[in-house]
Amino acid sequence: MTNLNKVVSSLRNEYARLEKEMGRVGKALDALGHAGGKSLKHTGRTLSKEARKRIADAQRLRWAKVRKQAAKLVKS
């Protein structure tokens, strides 16, 4: 049990370190995104209604496959 506690503690420490690092990366991206007056977040691309539907249908199929695999694992 103490081994498991050490693993959990180590994972929490790593998670905290990664959160700090992601904060730094986010600040750097924000600074770079505003340099020259351009924003990194907006690309200006628009998808047609049909394209959005195709993407949504494909994603529904992927999730159905995931749920099917999960159901197999639960049964066995």
Query: pTM surpassing 0.85?
Result: no
Which is more confident, 2 or 69? Answer: 69
- Per the CB < 8 A criterion, the answer to whether 40 and 29 are in contact is yes
pLDDT tens per residue across span 12-70: 999 999 999 999 998 888 888 766 655 556 667 899 999 999 999 999 999 999 999 99
Task: Give 47's contacts (C-beta < 8 A, 6+ positions apart).
Answer: 55
Q: For 39, list phi and psi in degrees, rounded to 5.
A: -110, 135
Q: State which H helix or E strand residue 48 sits in.
A: none
pLDDT at 38: 56
38 exposure class (CB count in 10 Å sphere: 0-12, 13-18, 19+): exposed
Which one-letter DSSP state was computed for residue 1? -
Q: Per-domain residue ranges for the chain?
A: 1-34, 48-76
